[in-house]
């Protein structure tokens, strides 16, 4: 149980285009989802927290107009990187948490490369 999927697992896009990453909880309802970014050989940095039906809460320094997060249902959250640039290339990982729970269940990650 508690499986989280991400799609796509890797994506290459051109500079200036937008890319959408999906995060799904497959066997539980996720009232809260988290988006992290991980640079090579570094730890995970929380980008934003989203609660179903509400606007996402972004961490300091994260541009909310660049990283659009939508949590429209209890099983799906999306991260859209708008007008992507090479410096946005990174490994993006989502996690999901059920109502009343403390554990976060992590997706397998999405490798984004912007050329």
Q: Which residues bind another protein (CB under 8 A)?
A: 4, 6, 32, 34, 42-44, 46, 49, 91, 93, 95, 97, 102-109, 111
Order of strands across the sheet that contains 4-7: 4-7, 19-25, 76-81, 67-73
**CA separation for the pair 111, 74 (Å, rounded):** 24
Q: How far is the CB of 33 from another protein (least distance, A)?
A: 12
62 alpha carbon, distance to own chain's centre: 13
Nearer to another protein (CB atom), residue 81 or residue 93 = 93
**Residue closer to another protein, measured from CB, 24 or 109:** 109
Kindly list the distances between the CA atom of residue 13 and the CA atoms of 67, 78, 85, 107, in Å, as whole numbers in the listed order. Answer: 15, 17, 9, 21
- CB-nearer residue toward another protein: 39 or 85: 39
Nearest CB to another protein, comparing residues 82 and 91: 91
Least Å distance, CB 60 to another protein, is: 11
Residue 33, both tokens = 């989802």
- Give the shortest CB-83-to-another protein separation in angstroms: 26
């Amino acid at each position: 149980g508690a499986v989280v999927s991400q799609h796509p697992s890797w994506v290459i896009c051109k500079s200036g285009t937008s890319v959408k990453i999906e995060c799904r909880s497959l066997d539980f309802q996720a009232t809260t989802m988290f988006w992290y970014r991980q640079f090579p050989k570094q730890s995970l940095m929380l980008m934003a927290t989203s609660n179903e039906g509400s606007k996402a809460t972004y961490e300091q320094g994260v541009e909310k107009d660049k990283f659009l997060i939508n949590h429209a249902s209890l099983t799906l959250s999306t991260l859209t990187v708008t007008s992507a640039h090479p410096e946005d290339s990174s490994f993006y990982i989502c996690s999901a948490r059920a109502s009343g729970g403390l554990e976060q269940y992590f997706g397998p990650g999405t490798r984004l490369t912007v050329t």
